[in-house]
Amino acid sequence: MPDYYDEEEEVITIPAPAGGVKRGEFAIVGKLGGVAVHAVDEGEEVEIELEGSFDFPKASGAFSLGAPVYWDAGAKKATATAQGNPRIGVAIGGATSSDAEEVRVRLDGYIP
């Protein structure tokens, strides 16, 4: 066994991406993605939660339970459209296109 072992963390610190982040917004840096614990300006350090379930604003369209959820960084919304958008998790509640403008997502913790 190695001399040093660090448990996997659910919250990590990263530099805030371009434009900064607001508390509760999804932030992506490289292959890491998570929900900002607090608001910061671009380049400042921000803690992000890698795991858990969160409600995100959604683009138009529907999500079925268990469907993959992608992130449209320009619109800052969850989307069912894979092309050009990184996968962030799965829908843990269905949302029709006429539902409220949010979808509950279980985060993957990394961007495949």
The full DSSP string for 41-101 is -TTSEEEEE-SSEEEEEB-SS-B-TT-EEEEETTTTEEES--TTS-EEEEESS-B-TTS-S
Whether residue 64 is contained in a domain is answered as yes
Parent domain of 24: 11-107
Mean pLDDT of the 65-80 span: 92
Whether residue 91 is contained in a domain is answered as yes
pLDDT surpasses 90 at 106: yes
Whether residue 80 is contained in a domain is answered as yes
Please tell me the pTM assigned to this model.
0.83
Provide the number of structural domains found in the chain: 1
Contact residues for 101 (Cβ-Cβ < 8 A; gap 6+): 57, 58
Mean pLDDT of the 31-54 span: 92
Whether residue 17 is contained in a domain is answered as yes
Mean pLDDT of the 83-109 span: 85
Whether residue 23 is contained in a domain is answered as yes
Least confident of 6-15, 17-26, 49-58, 65-74: 6-15
**Burial of 73: CB neighbours in 10 Å, binned 0-12, 13-18, 19+:** middle
Q: How far is CA 10 from CA 34, 40, 49, in A?
A: 9, 19, 6
pLDDT at 1: 45
Whether residue 3 is contained in a domain is answered as no
pLDDT surpasses 80 at 28: yes
CATH number at residue 20: 2.40.300
Whether residue 96 is contained in a domain is answered as yes
